[in-house]
Structure 1
Amino acid sequence: MSDSASDVVIAGAGPYGLSTAAHLSHLGLDIRIIGEPMRFWEANMPEGMFLKSEPFASNLGSPQPGMRFTDLHPGWRIGQPIPLETFIEYGRWFAAEGVPLRSDDQDAQVVNVERAGQNGRNGYAVTLSTGETITAKAVVVAVGVGPFAHIPDELAGLPSWLVSHCSAHRDLTLFAGKEVAVIGAGQSALETAVLLADAGAHPHVIARRQRLDWNTVPEERRSLRDRVLGGPRSGLGTGYRTWLWAERPGLVRYLPEGTRRRIVRETLPPAGSWWLRDRLDERVRVSTGRRPVKAAELADGIALTTVDRSGGRAVTEVEHVIAATGYVPDVARLGMLAPELRGRITTRLGAPVLSRDFEASTPGLYFAGLAAASTFGPVMRFVHGADFAATRIAGHIIRRMPRMRPTAARLADVLEPNTTRQ
């Protein structure tokens, strides 16, 4: 029994959910997008954070013109980092202008998705935290990175007041005056350490890498020689291969699985943004070439044992450990999917195996964002991939619903999107 019906339910209102909603609503489909727009970014990203992506690569996807970040902020230039609050403001402006929102859906969460009818012939039954159940022909899982926060096995199992993931902290002033170890060598680790120092904490970065790497300062105008030798600029940086992974993710899917995973792992390896380098000063202790092997609870904190490449051991005592160790997609961690449904989804190393249209092995169920990275490559880890994912998903859903088929012009825009649109 259901309380309502919809063509599509989108679980998640971050960049990928909002982009998909904009494309589907443009086609005239009845959609429900569940969640407050940009809520994860506001609640889980640290105050004082800046985006690593360039302004032209920070656009949400919409078939309507004038909806890019650079449309709202036309003066933002390459090399000018975007503050977190500015990006959240843009996402909410995008939602208000281009997405049909219901106030009650913004206060809700998807708590269960299961197949409806015998063998799922009636689509899906989506239950919300409000108690409402929606019958939908298709469901788009656009939950972002939150459910996939990764804490290394050596730290897993310890209480949250001793060990946490970097995505668990909005207000780092809670650590003022405390010794805090930050595990990792990427932007999240280095920026967290700097923001901890700004908040009055005493951070200690512990990185597996032998040295910290930093991105170079981007040049707004590049010489012809640099463009030829260095490759074109793309949403993931510069370089010929990087351009391919960023701008043609549909081709990545046809590569061997091992190659795709290597591309995801090696494209944009851990590094800090150029603008952060001078802020990582003497306030932050840094130990490179070390990896955690053991953690033990103390009366007033935690003892973290690390080893270097030669096997040398060191014990660091701190009051808290923050793991800035990334995100690992795993369908098993999506509690909103009913166990029977999860069991029917074909996965590889936890990630869903997807069609060229982001559809899982269970018809009508789509995954957007990080969960799609093992299929479409590293751009799915970033906002820049949102328009490609939304376009493919919307095009496939409308083809499966002939009664809702739009005019020829609008359908052509979905199936063959304007390649000049960022």
Structure 2
Amino acid sequence: MYDLLVVGAGPYGLSIASHAAAAGLGLRVLGRPMASWRDHMPRGMFLKSEPWASSLSDPGGRLRLETYCAGRGVAARHGEPIPVEMFASYGLWFARNAVPDVDERMAVHVRGCPGGFEVLTDDGEVLRARTVALAVGVMPFVELPAALNGLGPERVSHSSRHADLSRFRGGDVTVIGGGQAALETAALLAEQGTRTRVLARAAGLSWNDVPPAWERPWWRSARAPHSGLGCGWRNWFYAERPGLFHRLPEPTRVRITAGALGPAGAWWVRDRVDRAVELMPGHEVTSAHRSGIGVRLETVDRDGRRARLETGHVIAATGFRARRERLGLLDDELRASLVALSDGAPAIGRGFESSVPGLFMAGLITASAYGPAMRFVHGAGFTADTLVRGVRRRLRTGPGGGRIPAPGGNLRQGEGLRQGSDLGHGTGR
């Protein structure tokens, strides 16, 4: 029986594994390294986060993004975005050097057992561990507007489903959303010859400013310090003090997480959008239907005026919503045992441990507990160190520290929902 089984091999899973290995824990990591970054983002995208805020975490800090880039003759400079392809390659390099024994099979089902957990892999093997860390990224939490349901993937898709946009070349695509995923996807579509429009609920699009110079007068730094989530004291608090954020009252944490760092495009994509993309802010889709060319959208603007438009395909860049019921990887009884917050996310306690003793969580699913940094790669460092300390504390207390649910019977191949296990879009973007 392993001390810790990490489900997911994205930035959070690999960082946790690196810290766990250094702590001497009996460890197994399941998942294809950096799968979301490799399989769910089209070529030509860039990280929105600064290079210095986009490193995975190893205890010695030797395997940082700038180290990888320097070894390939590339400077990772402040204010210069890093291509997603380079970041994905960096993650693979990190895995080879910090977590060389990643098991690329997928975990498809997790349930409690006496003394710990049983995890079923996609080829039918059952692995047992005293503790489990779910670092499943964002893909289980894809959010599509209800108005788009039922049209099928040939007409409607989520922005995270596209590693290649070339299928839309020469066509007509409507992108829904006002954040970076929507705006960068629209720019890439337009640049390949696709007629592209962006439809967003907000009255106007928001754009991040060009970041101030790294070295600047002390008084400017004092007024608005740099942080892994942008300049300003509020962002600094979210980025650098997740432990203090966790001490805030639950309603406050949930409210802040829902509204902080709202949809906005990076400064370096603005010109690309303005010159090539039709922009329709202040519009909301009320219904969608199949049509001769693809989809007919019914919309309403902020003044109540209704309109109709025809498009070949709709890409919904509408984000992710981390809710307990979307953790289909978990056995029904185990999932039902999770205490949920008012926004539907699992309650996460000290050391990133859920309300089920021995079941730990990382990444987007923990944002309502530890703050907006958990939506970005920058949060992986705090998470990895804190979570591994929590695992060691749980291992010391043993089963007597809290009974882990142990439903009767054994796992059978094929039980439960098959779910991917990696972190990708949404972190560092």
Task: Establish whether TM, by shorter chain, passes 0.5.
Answer: yes
CA distance in 1, matches of 2:123, 2:116: 21
Matched, 1:222 2:219: no
Please give the secondary structure, in 2, of the residue aligned with 1:138: strand
CA distance in 1, matches of 2:191, 2:236: 36
Which region of structure 1 is more displaced relative to structure 2, 126-135 or 277-286? 277-286
What's the counterpart of residue 174 of structure 2?
181
What's the counterpart of residue 371 of structure 1?
365
Q: How far off is 1:212 after superposition?
A: 1.4
Q: How does 1:7-406 map to 2 (within 5 A)?
A: 7-74=3-70, 75-102=75-102, 105-106=103-104, 108-117=105-114, 122-218=115-211, 219-229=213-223, 231-348=224-341, 349-402=343-396
Cα-to-partner distance string for 1:278-313 (whole Å, 9 max, x where unaligned): 111442111011111111111331111111111101
Letter in 2 for 1:79: G
Please give the secondary structure, in 2, of the residue aligned with 1:335: coil
CA distance in 1, matches of 2:271, 2:197: 17
May I ask how many residue pairs the two structures share in their alignment? 392
Letter in 2 for 1:295: A
Q: How far off is 1:127 after superposition?
A: 0.6
Letter in 2 for 1:388: F
Q: How far off is 1:385 after superposition?
A: 0.2
What TM-score do the two structures reach when normalised by structure 2?
0.89
Percent of matched pairs sharing the same residue: 47
Letter in 2 for 1:31: L
Letter in 1 for 2:98: G
Cα-to-partner distance string for 1:106-165 (whole Å, 9 max, x where unaligned): 1x1101100013xxxx20011100111011000110010111111011112221111110
CA distance in 2, matches of 1:155, 1:223: 50
- Contact preservation (8 Å) 1:173, 1:200: no
Q: How far off is 1:334 after superposition?
A: 1.9
- Contact preservation (8 Å) 2:353, 2:361: yes
Q: How far off is 1:45 after superposition?
A: 1.1
CA distance in 2, matches of 1:402, 1:288: 54
Structure 1 unaligned segments of length 5 or more: list them.
Answer: 405-422
What's the counterpart of residue 407 of structure 1?
none
- Contact preservation (8 Å) 1:250, 1:356: no
Alpha-carbon spacing, 1:92–1:331, altered in 2? closer, same or farther (3 Å) = same
- Contact preservation (8 Å) 1:37, 1:91: yes
CA distance in 2, matches of 1:199, 1:356: 48
- Contact preservation (8 Å) 1:232, 1:243: yes
Q: How far off is 1:36 after superposition?
A: 1.2
Letter in 2 for 1:196: L
Runs of 4+ in 1 over 6 A off after TM superposition: none
CA distance in 2, matches of 1:389, 1:136: 20
Please give the secondary structure, in 2, of the residue aligned with 1:203: strand
CA distance in 1, matches of 2:270, 2:199: 16
Higher RCO, 1 vs 2 (CA within 8 Å, ≥6 residues apart): 2
Please give the secondary structure, in 1, of the residue aligned with 2:350: coil
CA distance in 2, matches of 1:397, 1:191: 39
CA distance in 1, matches of 2:170, 2:20: 49
Letter in 2 for 1:301: G
Alpha-carbon spacing, 1:210–1:310, altered in 2? closer, same or farther (3 Å) = same
Q: How far off is 1:331 after superposition?
A: 2.1
Cα-to-partner distance string for 1:76-131 (whole Å, 9 max, x where unaligned): 110110001110111111100011414xx21x1101100013xxxx2001110011
Letter in 2 for 1:80: E
What TM-score do the two structures reach when normalised by structure 1?
0.90
CA distance in 1, matches of 2:126, 2:330: 14
Cα-to-partner distance string for 1:375-410 (whole Å, 9 max, x where unaligned): 011000000000111111100111233499xxxxxx
CA distance in 2, matches of 1:207, 1:222: 36
CA distance in 2, matches of 1:225, 1:362: 47
Which region of structure 1 is more displaced relative to structure 2, 342-351 or 256-265? 256-265
- Contact preservation (8 Å) 2:293, 2:310: no
- Contact preservation (8 Å) 1:25, 1:100: no
Which region of structure 1 is more displaced relative to structure 2, 215-224 or 352-361? 215-224
Letter in 1 for 2:50: E
Alpha-carbon spacing, 1:137–1:100, altered in 2? closer, same or farther (3 Å) = farther
Please give the secondary structure, in 2, of the residue aligned with 1:171: coil
Cα-to-partner distance string for 1:249-283 (whole Å, 9 max, x where unaligned): 11111212222123223322211111111111442
CA distance in 2, matches of 1:91, 1:189: 24
- Contact preservation (8 Å) 1:291, 1:306: yes
